[in-house]
Amino acid sequence: MKKEREMIRDWVLFGLILIILVVLLSIFPEKKEAVIRTSWKFFIEMVWIFPAVMIILGLFAVWIPKEIVVKYLGSTSGIKGILFAIVLGTLPTGPLYIAFPIAAALLKKGAKISNIIIFLSAWACIKIPQEMVELQFLGPKFMAIRLILTIIFVVIMGVFIEKLIEWSDKK
């Protein structure tokens, strides 16, 4: 029953997006070619990247025991889990949409919601190559302040969202 509801929700969301697309393209018909070209480019990128991600996720599902994920990212992981989630999010250099199936796999294996939010946020905001470019062009003071503030607020956001989800589940 829950799966059916989720599928219906997904199709409704997809339908709404299509309706919005049609409305926007009728208002701005000159953008049609750019929208189609950009959409096709992203589609091709996903076709090339997504199969590799699925293979990696399959290997992850088989090779990484649930106990390890629970130990390092689960509800009792504490500060160690937060730091691990940050490091795990900063290492990859792929697009953010790759992180979502990885996050789902981590959740299924017992990772804490706050650590998943931290992982996703670190993936989006903190990359080692990005930090090096930032250091080169904006200087060490700017890079350090932005990095520290990003980490602080990513952690606060992760904990806040987890509490919010726990609160809404209780209702």
Note the helical H segments in the chain.
Answer: 2-27, 32-63, 66-73, 78-90, 99-108, 113-125, 128-138, 140-170
Q: Which of 36, 63, 90 is the last residue of a domain?
A: 63
d(CA 142, CA 135): 8
72 and 152 both lie in a single domain: yes
91 and 30 both lie in a single domain: no
Report the 10 Å Cβ neighbour count for 113.
18
% the chain with pLDDT above 70: 100
9 and 74 both lie in a single domain: no
The SS3 assignment for 110 reads: coil
76 and 155 both lie in a single domain: yes
120 and 166 both lie in a single domain: yes
pLDDT of residue 65: 86
Write the CB contacts of 131 (distance below 8 Å, at least 6 apart in sequence). 143, 147
pLDDT tops 80 at residue 119: yes
88 and 134 both lie in a single domain: yes
Q: Which of 43, 63, 83 is the last residue of a domain?
A: 63
Query: Average pLDDT of 50-70?
Result: 85
135 and 80 both lie in a single domain: yes
Burial class (CB in 10 A: 0-12, 13-18, 19+), 46: middle
Residue of 91, 169, 168 whose CA lies nearest to 128 = 91
Residue-number span of the structural domain to which 75 is assigned: 67-171
Record the pTM.
0.78
108 and 157 both lie in a single domain: yes
What DSSP designation does 75 have?
A: T
Task: State the residue for tokens 């293979």.
Answer: 55
Residue of 99, 122, 107 whose CA lies nearest to 162 = 107
For 35-48, what is each residue's pLDDT tens digit? Answer: 989 989 988 988 88
Tally the domains of the chain. 2
82 and 48 both lie in a single domain: no
pLDDT tops 80 at residue 2: no
End-to-end CA distance of the chain: 20
Structure confidence at residue 104 as a pLDDT band (50, 70, 90): very high
CA angle 124/126/129 to nearest 5° reads: 110
86 and 163 both lie in a single domain: yes
48 and 110 both lie in a single domain: no
User: Which of residues 66 and 2 earns the better pLDDT score?
Assistant: 66
Query: Average pLDDT of 124-145?
Result: 92
The rounded mean pLDDT for the chain is 90
pLDDT of residue 62: 83
15 and 79 both lie in a single domain: no
